[in-house]
Amino acid sequence: MARYALLLLPSANRVYAAAAANLAQAELEILSRRALGGSVGDIGQATIGGVPYITFGAPAVDERGAAYLANLSAGYALFERANGDLLRPVSLTPLDRYDDDLITIQKYQGKTNEQFTKLLLNATLLSSAFAGDLLTRKLTVLDPLCGRGTTLNQALMYGYDAAGIDLDRQDFDAYSAFIKAWLKRKRVKHHVGYDGPVRREGKVIARRLQVSMAATRDAFKSGATQLLDVVNAPTDRAGEFLRPATVDAVVTDAPYGVQHGSRTAAKGRARSPLDLLALSVPAWAPLLRPGGAIGIAWNTLVARREDAARILADAGLEPLQDPPYLSFRHRVDQAIVRDIVIARKPG
């Protein structure tokens, strides 16, 4: 059994950095259980040379194991420990298909921390029946409260298809402008298949952007493309724009406001996060393939974990309530203590 030390990625967010080690430990435990056959053990934290690390034991890390470890949200570098605190670097090659400014360049108030977005996506995908396919299969990720697209961009970075729904017209327009400009500026081979209003019975019911893209020209020519599909519409109408059982993971950081509420809500009336989930989860669940997973982050100061889990269970999903799924709670600021709840679709 070899010993390893994972150097944590520095975080510009001081509050998140304080929680990063505990979050990374929980993420690694899920990775070990769901994709590496439980081979990673004795996971802990240590300070080596005055620097914090996540430490663990495992058989010699092979190519597949290194490929999974390379995508940990807080992972910066991996070392094998030899002769005490002597660190031998382990080569890591993450899935990343594009330059990292796809994730980092957008700056706006309320943007979810990029490391947390990656953590939420990883934990959800690893909890699905497709954990063994993360490195080899083009999965489909839906963020049904996508805002300005941080989750969508992380899915694209992994080489997956990405779908998003958001009610806020300004967010939709901002993300649409950003991604089209970014693709042109980076000279990424792409094709805008549709960009405009969606009409039904003579009425505009939504706006939609659909883009096919590929990391290389050869991939684009061969048809090995990724699809980005973003809709400006109420999230509880997701089934009008996406076919049932076509999504591998639903991943979203539920907003702390109420702008995504139902079109049936009284104009201007606030809707609680639990009301939003109760309305929307029954629309999201049918979009999941059997074995797919849904991961939701939310503010526990305004909604209890038990209530969020009950809503998922009522939609026919199986909430995951055992450790390490109960280890993601962390403070964001004085008014927000965030947690993650993940549930799997049977099958």
Indicate if 101-344 has the same CATH topology as 2-90.
Answer: no
User: What does each C-alpha distance from 57 to 2, 3, 79, 91, 239 come to in angstroms?
Assistant: 6, 5, 12, 17, 45
Question: How many CA atoms, within 13 angstroms, populate the side-chain half-sphere of residue 214?
Answer: 11
Output the DSSP codes for 213-243.
Answer: E-SSHHHHHHT--EEEEEEES-GGGGGGTS-
DSSP annotation of 309: H
Contact by Cβ (8 Å): 309, 339: no
Residue boundaries of the structural domains of the chain: 2-90, 101-344
Classify residue 181 as exposed, middle or buried by CB count within 10 Å of its CB (0-12, 13-18, 19+): exposed
pLDDT of residue 269: 37
Specify the pLDDT at position 335: 87
**Using CA atoms, how far apart are residues 289 and 310, in angstroms rounded to an integer?**
20
Contact 20, 3 (CB under 8 A): no
The tokens of 239 are what? Answer: 């089934």
Give the tokens for residue 300.
Answer: 């526990």
Quick one: DSSP state of residue 46? E
Along the chain (347 residues), what's the average pLDDT of each consecutive run of 10 residues? Answer: 93 81 96 96 93 94 95 96 88 95 89 93 98 96 97 98 97 98 98 97 96 97 97 97 98 68 39 87 98 96 94 98 95 91 96
Alpha-carbon distance of 232 to 264, in angstroms, equals 17
In angstroms, the CA 339 to CA 167 distance is: 24
What is residue 82's predicted lDDT score, i.e. its pLDDT? 86
In this prediction, residue 79 carries a pLDDT of 96
Q: CA 119 to CA 167: how far, in whole Å?
A: 25
Task: State phi, psi for 13 to the nearest 5 degrees.
Answer: -85, 110
Q: pLDDT at position 10, please?
A: 86
Predicted pLDDT at 13: 74
Measured CA to CA, the distance from residue 347 to residue 325 in angstroms comes to 21
CATH number of 2-90: 3.30.70
Nearest residue to 240 (alpha-carbon basis) of 283, 203, 197: 283
DSSP-H helix ranges across 36-146: 63-69, 101-104, 114-127
- pLDDT, position 12: 63
* CATH code, 101-344: 3.40.50.150
Q: What is the pLDDT of residue 262?
A: 41
